[in-house]
Amino acid sequence: MSAPLLSCRGLTRRFGGVLALDGLDLSVETGSVLGLIGPNGSGKTTFFNVLTGIFPADAGEIAFAGTPLLRMRPQDVYRAGIARTFQRSRLCLPLSIFDNLMVGNHQHLDHSLWFNLVRRKALRREIEDGWRTARELLHIFDPPLSDRMMEPAARIPMIDRRRVEVCRALISRPRLLLLDEPSAGMTHEETLRLMDDILQVQQKLGGLTIVLIEHEMSVIERVTQKCVVLNYGRKIAEGSYREVSSDPEVRKAYLGLE
């Protein structure tokens, strides 16, 4: 049996007297979609922030494709092949859709002064390559959107902004994609369409692994192979959606049922 793509052992993070992650053990298999669920304040986004180097862990281990990540800077985690979205939109609305996408591709761009001022033909090829890659990604999500790349991001509706944010994460060709509540600000129907888009992209890219934080349980049930449930920073259940949704401790913590 092959080793998991991502493995966390005893992961702990404190904020003063608050234990946001309490000895979390978690693994994610290559090519899978894992749902990370739990009530507000249970540690889900903190896990993403620790995994991507925004917050340091107080204890524990993280291995990604066999490489320790625990003390890496966010830039190095990104270069290792992990990309993410955020619950609140992080698009720069006055910039074009294309410019917003290129922000996510900066590791593949030459930022040197000599390249940008002197090697103009090479710079043009780099921009053209970026344009093709960005357009192909957007076309998978929504063909009409791929024809609007020079429009400001402020002109497009929320579902298209979410699509652009996911494409911005995918344009760096990560092995692991972290989605933090992609349905925030969207209707139920828009959420289902977006998740269908993401699954289609996963299938076309091949081997992409996804960890999804989501409060829309119909989405979790529909797209995930395994769920991990957190409460007060602890893992209280793990398994298929059917298994965890029927767990009495999960129902009490997440659904507020006795």
Q: Residue 210 in contact with residue 33, Cβ under 8 Å?
A: yes
For residue 199, what pLDDT is reported?
A: 85
For residue 106, what pLDDT is reported?
A: 64
For residue 117, what pLDDT is reported?
A: 59
For residue 176, what pLDDT is reported?
A: 96
For residue 231, what pLDDT is reported?
A: 93
For residue 135, what pLDDT is reported?
A: 92
Q: Residue 186 in contact with residue 87, Cβ under 8 Å?
A: no
For residue 77, what pLDDT is reported?
A: 93
Token pair 């893992």 is found at: 235
Q: Extract the residue ranges of the chain whose pLDDT is less than 50.
A: 110
For the chain, list the domains and their CATH numbers: 1-81+175-258 (3.40.50.300), 89-173 (no CATH)
**Strand positions, DSSP E, the chain:** 6-15, 18-28, 33-37, 59-64, 67-68, 82-84, 176-180, 209-213, 226-231, 234-239
- Which of 123, 128, 209, 125 is closest to 170 using CA atoms? 209
For residue 122, what pLDDT is reported?
A: 62
For residue 238, what pLDDT is reported?
A: 94
